[in-house]
Chain A
């Protein structure tokens, strides 16, 4: 009996739980700072560039310039698609990386959890001649990615690609991107850079290695995007108002849409019958003695076209230019770089090094 009493008392005591120590509160925000359309997602003083959606359609991944870090790295930030607090940051913070500026840009995430992105490393404060590479690795730890190819590299076409952009997964084993030329101009010490498209590249994964090849017929391309299946891309060409669709398998190429008088089309995106592109604005396609054919682009209007009905939305708020729209996987939302208007520069100029545009990301709901 007493043993039972004691056992009962002990059971009663152990049934009481202990108090728990204090824990930090979650101070994160959900939703945008202002829900009034167009919704502004980011407010940072640095550049917020090259947005892309994760396959789940809930998170936007983009490159953010971290002016609060001594080396001003550009990190990959993960942001709720509807706005709010960044949920994850991928920065180069390992030992020995604090003496350089690391840029992670142009991310693209595959459905099976791989991330491809551009990595550029330069001495802090010097923008010229960064060590660049196209990277491929796990989304769980992008910093553990492997180099697909150092940049610059010689493409099979014989051209030298000094930059890559518009990375897009067509499927689990196929990646396309735009090979570009990279130029420095302006001040020797504080040069500005501009890039211009050369040709579209495809990368095919086999046994963990990626084989790179040129997509024929895409010389002077200015953007590329997935065309709806693993075999199809949509792209634009420098100085051209049209959007092309091309089958990688057959080489068949058609005009998907022509923006005509609206201006030069670029930064194309496609989901089903929804076509998104940057059109017109502060852009110039010309031949320059120093650079050949180039397309200088400060941004333009955001055009959203329903290819089935021909209905179009045009977003051109005064004083604002858009670049690099990213269409969500379900085709209902667009995140795009938005920056103050800046005139396009016609050519090399010692005063070219204009104030940085400091783009932020905006969200457009298409529904």
Chain B
């Protein structure tokens, strides 16, 4: 590779910026290479290269080059046949999604089959056609690292902060499951996807953070590309059970989890796969908040678990792979997820049954028909037709009754919510009246302090929120071979969606009561999204070029009073150019990305949360696309066999992100608009030493800065201000603030080790450490930004998000000891998160900048509550506390009472969720069959 080529690559990238971006995040990869005569070195024209059972393949051209497209990621056997040559078979060829596996074959001119000859396989690290910045998680990673879910595994990726990628807001990513786009278009920025894949169903998953293929849209910051397994040729499976029951003493958080997976052939070539992942936890969101100092506080002696914080998840998936004829394959996939949670609310600490709860249920059902031309086809073609139904149902409110636990935190039944029937019927008329079953909360009598302040009982907060999102997606993708060095991708998709929402706050009061109860809001509309793309990927010697153009369109097909919805459309060009330098591959990419805004911003929203700056926000059916331009330069190198280094530098320009803008002169009224712009820039360094000789290392460091003019969709952005004196129109300065997930520094280190089966000391003929696997994940991250307010006011101290949380760090560990008894393989393992029990601060109060309020705030709270109710508490009252009646006169009064208000204020402001996860441990037993 030369400087000239580098210059060409850069020039192409520059040109592309005027028109388009690239990359390839796909469910499939390709196999390509050359078939040559071992004696002459000449290409063997007409050599037939086939995969596995021969249904897929390609015929070598005059130069001997071949290319087999759209091969699902996995491990394959390749067979090469040519007249006059001995057939060659190559086993265990690994194909990764979005990658071309290079395999060259040299054939003996003989009629006798000889042993497999591996001539050459290309290094995927250096693959010039791999233009996307992908961080891959394999099924083996999910099993051998201390992670329990795909989301946890992806969060190890460089640039990931939870489910925010490269500084973006939540919801700026899209899921691709076996090539099919899945997104919660309703409230991805504040809610979950609604479905979770059982980890055992995965072949691999990758996070793509730069320009991804024009095939995919609906994302600005990342693409989570998941490839699931097909059923195998023999029945096999895995089951595991894990729990933290044995630990006790604060290590037991009520966890029970079971996973199961089995796959194999059924009949007539049909193969099946079923997988399940069910888990429950008595404390579903454990925190490491310190115990309170006051011994009367029940958390003082039992600080580890929170009541009314249990949750359970059920994820079940199944898949059928059905071959049709010699060239078609039908895959039918189904996934059902239910996630239901009781939500701890500090105000209901002493009467937790009145706390809120939520349930999210998701269903994905898809069919994928694939046609692939035969190995001898002159015009290689792979056609994929996908049809999918995706449902997501969400409800949050007050439970009808607290469910009984059947086993651990498993209830075995679905939560039932008060007013759920009204919400589902979107009956805003009935909802004018108080929701039957909801009661007004009253001050709790059950606190150690007795005073009627800060803690509630007898009724809930009266919130009832429900929404339902459904989409039917039809997607056609065509892959044409353009010689042996290129591919053309073309496709289209149409997505028919249906959105229904309902929201009611203070449901125990009639609408309008006290001028503080907004009407229930409901909406129903049926948006339509459509997209089409054309993309080409070519390799010219050491130069790889990917160029594509994607057209996105969405039409909410809804009008709100006074505002007519209009269709929006966008063209998104993407280009990537790569070339091979000496022992390294350089990639430059540029692309434009668009995503339709969350549909939640299209409808009116009522809030009972004054921290969100308004009680009512008007929906805007005319919101346009949120967009970004992203530029990236990436260098991949393999300095030594088994070592890989990647360096990425990127700039992302964000445009038209949703934020709130004032509506009229009412300070409490605002409307959602595409008013936020920003910039994310950063660099990533990734290092990997493959697991060899018993140890391996992966490390990544991210340095980035993410700024925008608003930090979230709910932050009010004033685009104009009217001077109250001169009545002049003032356009405020366009100042950029750190985005909520602007994590400047992040270092992740993954160490893996393995003891040989025959390793370690032997005792009585047994080697207890033989085969032991260990993995350590260390993370060190700088703090996220937050906004300071002056105590007791809504006046900002400095600019939004100008303050920073302290740095956080964790070390997670997994130890696994394989077992093989009586022919059945398995293992026992122990998984410990936050091994050192570090108490990370993940949130602070906006007034004090610390997890806890300052003394003045406590005193003000206590004095205010005391002034509101200074009646002395008589002996027979449920509020009377013997420990508070210092003078023993049968009353808690005066200073005795004030002291109880102070204690209650300290209790109510305990920073429970200001701290991250504590040390969590689990033991598991795994059986492979």
Mark A residues whose CB is within 8 Å of B: 1-3, 5-6, 9-10, 13-14, 16-25, 27-29, 33-34, 41-45, 67-68, 77, 79, 83-86, 89, 93-96
Contact = CB atoms under 8 A, between A and B. Distances in A.
B824 A2 contact: yes
A2 B245 contact: no
Given A68-B869, A86-B876, A95-B513, A19 B252 contact: yes
Interface string B240-254: 010101101010111
Contacts of B408: 18
A285 B283 CA distance: 69
Contacts of A1: 821-822
Contact of A95 (B307, B350, B509, B826): B509
Contacts, number: 132
Interface stretch (B97-105, B294-302, B681-689): B294-302
B457 to A, nearest CB: 10
Contact of A25 (B409, B448, B458, B891): B448
B126 interface: no
Contacts of B304: 19
A284 to B, nearest CB: 32
B440 interface: yes
- List the 7 shortest-distance A-B pairs measured between CB atoms, nearest first: A43-B874, A2-B821, A22-B298, A16-B245, A21-B305, A21-B307, A22-B302
A29 B450 CA distance: 13
B109 interface: no
Given A13-B245, A16-B246, A95-B510, A21 B824 contact: no
B298 A23 contact: yes
A21 B871 contact: no
B302 A5 contact: no
Given A29-B880, A45-B872, A86-B876, A24 B923 contact: no
A84 B298 CA distance: 23
B398 to A, nearest CB: 15
B877 A85 contact: yes
A17 B877 contact: no
Contact of A19 (B254, B299, B877, B880): B254
Contacts of A28: 878
Q: Point out which of A1, A27, A67 has the most chain B C-beta atoms below 10 A from its C-beta.
A: A27
Contact of B876 (A2, A85, A95): A85
B305 A95 contact: no
A3 B927 contact: yes
Contacts of A45: 871-872, 874
B877 A86 contact: yes
Contacts of A23: 298, 307
Given A14-B243, A21-B309, A24-B298, A33 B875 contact: yes
A68 B868 CA distance: 10
B442 interface: yes
Contact of B890 (A22, A24, A43, A89): A43
A69 to B, nearest CB: 9
Contacts of B282: 18-21
B647 to A, nearest CB: 46
Nearest to B297: A22
A358 to B, nearest CB: 11
A77 to B, nearest CB: 8
B819 interface: yes
B526 interface: no
A2 B307 CA distance: 38
Contacts of A77: 876
Contact of B254 (A18, A33, A84): A18
B306 interface: yes
A24 B869 contact: no
Given A9-B925, A43-B876, A85-B878, 19 more contacts: A2-B822, A2-B824, A3-B824, A13-B243, A20-B305, A22-B307, A24-B350, A24-B448, A25-B298, A27-B882, A29-B875, A29-B882, A33-B890, A42-B874, A42-B876, A68-B452, A68-B869, A84-B876, A93-B442
B508 interface: yes
Nearest to A42: B876
Contacts of A10: 241, 925
A44 B440 contact: no
A279 to B, nearest CB: 28
A17 B875 contact: no
Contact of B252 (A18, A22, A44, A68): A18
A41 B440 contact: no
Interface in B264-288: 282-283
A24 B308 CA distance: 13
Contacts of B241: 10, 13
A366 B440 CA distance: 43
B881 interface: yes
Interface residues of B, number: 64
A27 B449 CA distance: 9
Contacts of A20: 282, 305
26 contacts: A1-B821, A6-B927, A13-B923, A14-B243, A14-B256, A18-B252, A19-B253, A21-B282, A21-B305, A22-B301, A24-B447, A25-B296, A25-B298, A25-B448, A27-B881, A27-B882, A29-B882, A33-B890, A41-B876, A42-B875, A43-B874, A68-B871, A86-B878, A95-B509, A95-B513, A96-B513
Nearest to A43: B874
A24 B878 CA distance: 13
Contacts of A84: 876
Nearest to B252: A19
A14 B882 contact: no
A27 B450 CA distance: 9
Contacts of A3: 824, 927
Nearest to B349: A24
A356 B322 CA distance: 88
Q: Interface centre among A2, A6, A21, A86, by most B CB within 10 Å? A: A21
A94 B441 CA distance: 10
B527 interface: no
A22 B508 contact: no
B893 to A, nearest CB: 10
Contacts of A44: 874, 876-877
A27 B448 contact: yes
Nearest to B449: A27
B712 interface: no
A85 B880 contact: yes
B568 interface: no
A1 B927 CA distance: 13
Contacts of B771: none
A86 B875 CA distance: 9
Interface string B339-362: 000000000011100000000000
Interface string B869-911: 1011011111011100000001100000000000000000000
B144 interface: no
A59 B927 CA distance: 60
Contacts of B878: 28, 85-86, 89
B432 interface: no
Contacts of B309: 21
Nearest to B870: A68
A67 B452 CA distance: 13
A93 B821 contact: no
B452 A83 contact: no
A13 B828 CA distance: 13
B653 to A, nearest CB: 47
Interface string B143-157: 000000000000000
B483 interface: no
A74 to B, nearest CB: 15
